[in-house]
Structure formats: structure tokens, C-alpha cells
Amino acid sequence: MSVSNNNSNVMRPIISLGQHDPNREQPLDDLQYGQILNSGVNFVTTPITNKHFHFRVRELVSNHLLNASLAGASLAEAVVPPLTPEDTSLFPSHAVTTYIAYASPWIDLASPDPVIASVSRQVLNLEIAYANFCGVRSIVVPGLRRDASKGPGNQGVAQYARAIREALTIGSRLNFIVHLPMYREPDLEEAFELLSTLSSVPHGDGKKNIDIYSAWDSWHAVRSLCEYSVRLFVAVRIPRALPERELQDKWFAEPLHFLTLGQNIFQRNKSGHPALPRAHQELIFRYLRLKNAPWLLLSDVGPDPATLTAEAQLQAASGVNQVPTAADFPPLGQTTSPSHANESTTSFRAYVKYIKWLEMQQAPLSYLEQPTLTSFQDWLQSPLQPLSDNLESATYEVFEGDPVKYNQYEAAITEALAEWSQLGRATSSNNGAVVIAVAGSGRGPLVTRALRASEATGVPVQVWAVEKNPNAYVYLLRQNQTIWNGRVTVVKTDMRAWKGPLISGTHDENPTYGKVDILVSELLGSFADNELSPECLDGVQHVLAPHGISIPESYTAHMSPIATPRIHADLLTRLPTEPNAFHTPWVVHLYAIDFAAQRVPGHPRFQQAWEFSHPIPEATLKQIETRRAGGVMGGGGGSMAGAVGANDHNSRFCHLTFVCRTRGVIHGLAGYFESVLYAPRTGDKPAEPISYPADTELEVTMWRQTDDSKVWYEWLVEAYTWP
């Protein structure tokens, strides 16, 4: 996401604006190109070949089809001859690297006629190879004209997808952008005389009902066959009538490169200026919040090359780059027909000025949308393993940058201390102070909050900071000297091996250890228990007094099936070096996603998988010790795997049903958690993609398994549809 920053430090996404003329026959010359850039756009599209080449190909196909009807199957395949200087006006230059090439719109890669499909594929490959030679870096390929349907429709989608896959191989350094409508809006398809008009083979597309998901289905088929290539993008043509939000969400999650705005979606306000309806503005504003925000492409809007040349020669640039004001674009009201609008207000600059004005109407970026945090959108991070790894100071610093979490921790400790004092409970200390232990103290943020809670309530405390990281231990000692004024006892040990607070006055050779009244920890992962909080807290519970409090007291894991094409593509690129990429829980700030499940009674979008509570019952602790001593065999997954099953009580199982109204694809399960400390965080558990039709129930089964030495998850996703 690119952002603008004005004098008041208000940041908004920047709109990158381009211009596409479907009827442009040759690239703009330097004078024309400079003039259109001066009008306020950032880039333009350019054809690769011209009318001469088009005529040659049509003549080739026409003659071949005629000869085939006479000679039958004995005729050789039609072969498109190489390009000649007369076939193209695109040549290497300094400006060509800034062009967005547009493949010939008259080809039909999905034609049911094998001759048309073959020639179209040859034309595309010729154009790709030549554009790549000239220095072009991105090519837009016209999308399917027909989506999958009964008869030859599915064959056409497969042919098109295979042609794009071949193109990715030929243009190994190019980005490819498939141009598709958001849905097949009646009577608003792009009109071109395709090569298919020369064929007598029927298209087999007699569908009358509108299926608003068919264009997305075609795109999904193409990118799936292309194995989610990171060089394959989609340009979505925005319709005049926007579809339901579910379809908008599907496209939101895709690798969008362009949003195409045709002249037909603009209205005229009462002053005659072009303007977009409010719904279209909101859609654009939402899409621009993406980390890789799509560029806007004005299609079939703009001056022809002759006009650009004339304007450049007259140097009619005065006032073009002035910043538009709200007075230039009054609200939509009594709309007027474009045919009755003043010609000057329908000029290309009027559209450009409107888009620039629209850019300034966006809501300022919130704190969570600032560039630093936006860079983490859909970025996969390996979960931390604080049990086995000693974290760096920078990692701790990231944790401490979450003030909400630590404010809630402080509020929880404050409430616990106030209640302790109010009820007159006995403490585990000799002087009546409440004993607080922070297990896994890190750099000490929870220690600071515990001391603040004591000051706020007036309840005296003894604070113990337990940390196994030897480097963090040094930092904690310094904090105790400089910040906490020696009020904290710092212990370097694994929390599970800690014997408890050392009672003062006891001999070193025969020490006596006390108990803890409040045990505070921050061991929760993105899926609650995925950083082994249950196992860690079980291991330190022996120091907790019988009436003691654990903060957190409980936490629940939740999940929801999602589509994440970008993350799925990222994982595919990791497979050569990370074979277990699809079987690894990842921490990620999910953003470009599509929630597959609907909110329906009895089946919410986010459903609880399981819960853990602390402290665990005393009977469970005794059973753990008995199993470790070899006194009990049999039971859950751990013992069945050959272990004694001492951790079987932390195994979990869930079976959830999600309702999906619209068809789509599932790439993974988004995991979340809730805690009594009110600090939800997000994560993602990628899985192999599974497609499902409309009106489907998704059954998700998940297990948390253990064999006493490790913990892992197993899951199963099933899709059912009803006739």
C-alpha cells in the first residue's frame, strides 16, 4: 500500500491510475505518452501487434478453414508465421519498461474450434515472446468470454488455463494479468470481433440465467491449473451494478492487480462532472486498504492519439495539474445522461481529476493500518517456541508493543488483589503480603504491571520473576536495580523446575520453599494452546497454593474455514525448502481473506474448538504423578503411542459444522483464541485446498494429540452438499 502524507500528518492510500484504450492500434509515441502522463495518469496500456497482423491472422484462419472443409482431416495444422516489422509498432525503448502490454483482444483461447484455439494460442505466445524481448514486464491477457457450462464450456476453460500455464513458461520473467469481469453483467461485455466468428463450430453457450459466480469459477480454474503462480494476477472489471458482498469478498482475497473502471459505471452529477455511486466508492476504498493495493485502470475513457498530439503541440497544460476541490464535484443528485452533458466536462481530464479528488475522500489510515503494521498483512511467521528457544530482546520488544494486552493483565491482577483483600484471605507469606510469581517473565512487563496493581489497591505483594533465558535474566536483574528498586526476586530457572519461593531465614543446605498465591503467565499463542501453555502451567502448578489464582484462568481456541489465495501461493513457493509448510501452524495477520462460513442460527462463523482452565484439579495432578511413576497404564493418545500418558489430560477433540451458502474453496483454518484477559490475537493453520459447491456443510474435525514428549494437531475437513 502506497500512502500520501499531507501537512497535517494524515495518511491515506495513494491511487495509482492508468489508462486503457481497447481500440488503440499502436503504442503512443514519446510526445503522446508524455502528454497523457502530464494529464495525471501513472501508466498506460499498449498493444503488442497491430491491424496488419490481425488482418494476416484472420486471412490465415479463413483460408485454412475453407481448405479444411474441402480437404478434410488430411490438411496440416495452421501455423502463424513470425512477426514482421509491419506487424508491430512496439520496439525497445527507454519508455517500454513502463508500459503495460495488452495482448490482442480478438484471440479466443477457449474456442471450441480447435483451429481457432490453436491459432489464438500461437498468437499469444508470439506476442509474449516479442514483448518480453522489448523489455515489457507485465502483460494483460483478455479473459474468458464464456465460463464453464454444460457441453463444450468446461473444455474451453481447461484450454484457456492450459494456454496461460504455457504463457507463464514462455515469459518466465513476466507478470501475467488475466482480465475478467467481476461477474457477467448482461449486455456489458466487451465487444470485439473474435477469430471465433470465422468458425462454424457452435459455442454451446445458451445459458439465459445469470450466475454471478461463474467468472470467479473460471478464474479459480485457471489459477489452480497454473498452481497459484506468484506471477499470475487478475484484473477485475467493475460492473455497473455491484453484486452481493460475498462475491466482492471473494475477489478481495485474490491477487488483484487492476480494478478496471469503464465509462459506463460513471454517472453525471448535476454539474455534469463524472462521479461514481457511493457503493462503488466504498468498494474502491476497501480494496485500497490491501497491502498490495490494486491499481485503477480507466478503460475506454480518454483522448485518441491525434488529440494527445494536438494538445502537446499547443502546450495546453495550464490548470491540468491543479489539485481539485470539493466544489468541482458536488454530490450526485439529478443525474443527467452522458449524451446531454457538456462535452468539456466529459474529457479525460475530468475523470482523472475526479479520481484524484476521490483519493482525498478516503478515511485516514488508522493506527493498525499504518505502513509499518500493514506490511505484516498475510505475512507468514513461524510460531515462537519459548520452551526450546531463548528469545532475543527485539522479539520481547514486539510483545511489549501491545498496550491493550498488558492493560488487561494489570486490570486482572488489580481485581484479584482487591478481591483477596476484601475477602480477607490468608496469604502464603509470613508478613501477610500476597505472593505473586510471573512465570516466564521475559523482560519484565508483567512484573511492572503487578507492582502497579499493588500500588493501585494498596495490597502489599511479594513478586517473584521466574525466567529460564539467561540473557533476559541479566536484563531482569538490571530492571530490579534501576526500575523496581529491589522489590522483586529474580530466579533463573525453567518454570517447571522451580520449587517455589525460598522462605527467608532457612538454611542453604536445607532450604524451605513456600507457595504462590497468584501465578501470572503470558504463554498463549495464536490458537491459545499452540505454544504449550497447558503443559507449562501444569509443570509449575505445584508451587501454587490450594486457594491460589492463575492468570489467565482459562482460554478457548476458535476456528473458521477461510480462503487465502495469497498465503496458499506463498506456501507453494516454500515447499522445495520447507516440505512441511502445509503442515505447520503459522502466525499471520490475516487480511486478504474470504470467510467461507455464513452466520446462521446454531452454526456461527467462528466456533469454539476446546477450552483449557487453570489450575487443573488436584485429582488430575495426582493422576499425572501416578502415571509418571508407572502406576497406571492405558488411556488416551499418549499411552497408546507407547508413553505412559501423563499428558493425556491435555488432549482435546472437536467436531464442528460450518454452513457455506456460496460455493468456493477452502485453503485453511483460521485459528483465534479468547481469554479471560480479553486479548484476542490471530493465527492461521494452512491446509490443502478443498473446493465446495453452494449450500454446503463443512465438517471440521480436529484433535490435539500428545505422546508425553511432544504435542501436535490433526485435522480433517469434509464437504457435503444436499440436492
Q: What is the reported pLDDT for 56?
A: 95
Within the chain, which residue ranges are assigned CATH 2.70.160.11? 555-721
How far CA 481 is from CA of 163, 443, 475, 487, 490, in Å, comes to 69, 13, 10, 9, 11
Cα–Cα distance, 230 to 135 (Å, whole number): 20
Average pLDDT, stretch 6-28? 84
Q: What is the reported pLDDT for 208?
A: 58
Q: Which residue has the cell 512465570?
A: 439
For the annotated catalytic residues, the residue numbers are: 522, 531
Cα–Cα distance, 127 to 88 (Å, whole number): 10
**Cis peptide leading into residue 601 (ω within 30°):** no
Cβ proximity of 525 and 383 under 8 Å: yes
Cα–Cα distance, 252 to 225 (Å, whole number): 21
Cα–Cα distance, 328 to 516 (Å, whole number): 69
DSSP 3-state of 53: helix
User: Residue 531: which pLDDT band, with cuts at 50, 70 and 90?
Assistant: confident
**Cell, residue 529:** 494452546
pLDDT digits (tens, 9 = 90+) for 123-142: 999 999 999 999 999 999 99
Beta bridge partners of 701: 655, 716
pLDDT digits (tens, 9 = 90+) for 317-343: 454 445 555 555 555 554 444 433 334
287 residue type, one letter: Y
365 residue type, one letter: L
pLDDT digits (tens, 9 = 90+) for 639-689: 555 667 788 888 999 999 998 888 888 898 998 888 865 232 233 443 445
Q: What is the reported pLDDT for 661?
A: 84
Query: H/E element holding 34?
Result: helix 30-38
* pLDDT: which is higher, 189 or 220: 220
Cα–Cα distance, 290 to 286 (Å, whole number): 8
Radius of gyration (Cα) for the chain, nearest Å?
32
Q: What is the reported pLDDT for 323?
A: 53
Average pLDDT, stretch 590-617? 89
Cβ proximity of 698 and 657 under 8 Å: yes
Cα–Cα distance, 314 to 579 (Å, whole number): 62
Query: H/E element holding 572?
Result: helix 565-574
Between CA 444 and CA 447, with CA 446 as vertex, the angle to 5 degrees is: 60
* Residue 161 clears pLDDT 60, i.e. is over it: yes
pLDDT digits (tens, 9 = 90+) for 214-237: 999 999 999 999 999 999 999 999
Question: To the nearest whole number, what is the mean pLDDT of the chain?
Answer: 84
Q: CATH assignment of 3-374? A: 3.20.20.150
Q: Which CATH superfamily is domain 555-721 in?
A: Hnrnp arginine n-methyltransferase1 (2.70.160.11)
**Cell, residue 632:** 497406571
Q: What is the reported pLDDT for 72?
A: 65
Cα–Cα distance, 513 to 429 (Å, whole number): 11
Is 0.85 topped by the overall pTM?
Answer: no
pLDDT digits (tens, 9 = 90+) for 224-271: 999 999 999 999 999 999 999 999 999 999 999 999 999 999 998 888
Q: Is 532 left (phi over 0), alpha (psi -120 to 50) or beta?
A: left
Cα–Cα distance, 173 to 472 (Å, whole number): 46
DSSP 3-state of 76: coil
Average pLDDT, stretch 310-317? 59
Cα–Cα distance, 666 to 681 (Å, whole number): 21
The reply to whether CATH 3.40.50.300 applies to domain 393-522 is: no
Cα–Cα distance, 300 to 261 (Å, whole number): 9
**Phi first, then psi: what are they for 543, rounded to 5°?**
-90, -5
* pLDDT: which is higher, 320 or 365: 365
Query: H/E element holding 163?
Result: helix 153-170
What contacts 611, CB < 8 A, 6 or more positions away? Answer: 554, 555, 556, 557
* Residue 9 clears pLDDT 80, i.e. is over it: no
**Cell, residue 314:** 499547443
Cα–Cα distance, 622 to 620 (Å, whole number): 5
Q: What is the reported pLDDT for 320?
A: 47
Average pLDDT, stretch 447-471? 95
How far CA 617 is from CA of 2, 33, 478, 628, 635, in Å, comes to 54, 76, 37, 17, 18
Average pLDDT, stretch 189-204? 78
Q: State the Cα torsion 583-588-593-599 to the nearest 10°.
A: 90
Average pLDDT, stretch 94-117? 92
Cα–Cα distance, 564 to 664 (Å, whole number): 11
Average pLDDT, stretch 474-494? 95
The annotation status of 640 as a binding-site residue, yes or no, is no
DSSP 3-state of 486: coil
Cα–Cα distance, 142 to 299 (Å, whole number): 13
Lowest mean pLDDT among 110-119, 264-273, 281-290: 264-273
pLDDT digits (tens, 9 = 90+) for 34-89: 888 888 899 999 999 999 999 999 999 999 888 877 766 667 788 999 999 999 99
The annotation status of 396 as a binding-site residue, yes or no, is yes
Cβ proximity of 555 and 611 under 8 Å: yes
Average pLDDT, stretch 392-409? 84
Cβ proximity of 95 and 30 under 8 Å: yes
**Cis peptide leading into residue 585 (ω within 30°):** no
Cβ proximity of 305 and 270 under 8 Å: no
Which has the closest alpha carbon to 183: 144, 231, 151? 144
User: Residue 690: which pLDDT band, with cuts at 50, 70 and 90?
Assistant: low
User: Residue 691: which pLDDT band, with cuts at 50, 70 and 90?
Assistant: low
Burial of 71 (0-12, 13-18, 19+ CB in 10 A): exposed
The annotation status of 207 as a binding-site residue, yes or no, is no
Average pLDDT, stretch 592-620? 89
The annotation status of 494 as a binding-site residue, yes or no, is yes
Q: What is the reported pLDDT for 85?
A: 95
**Cell, residue 106:** 480478438
The annotation status of 406 as a binding-site residue, yes or no, is yes
Which has the closest alpha carbon to 511: 519, 503, 522? 503
Cα–Cα distance, 467 to 473 (Å, whole number): 6
Within the chain, which residue ranges are assigned CATH 3.20.20.150? 3-374
Share of the chain above pLDDT 90, in %: 47
Q: What is the reported pLDDT for 360?
A: 93
Cβ proximity of 143 and 109 under 8 Å: no
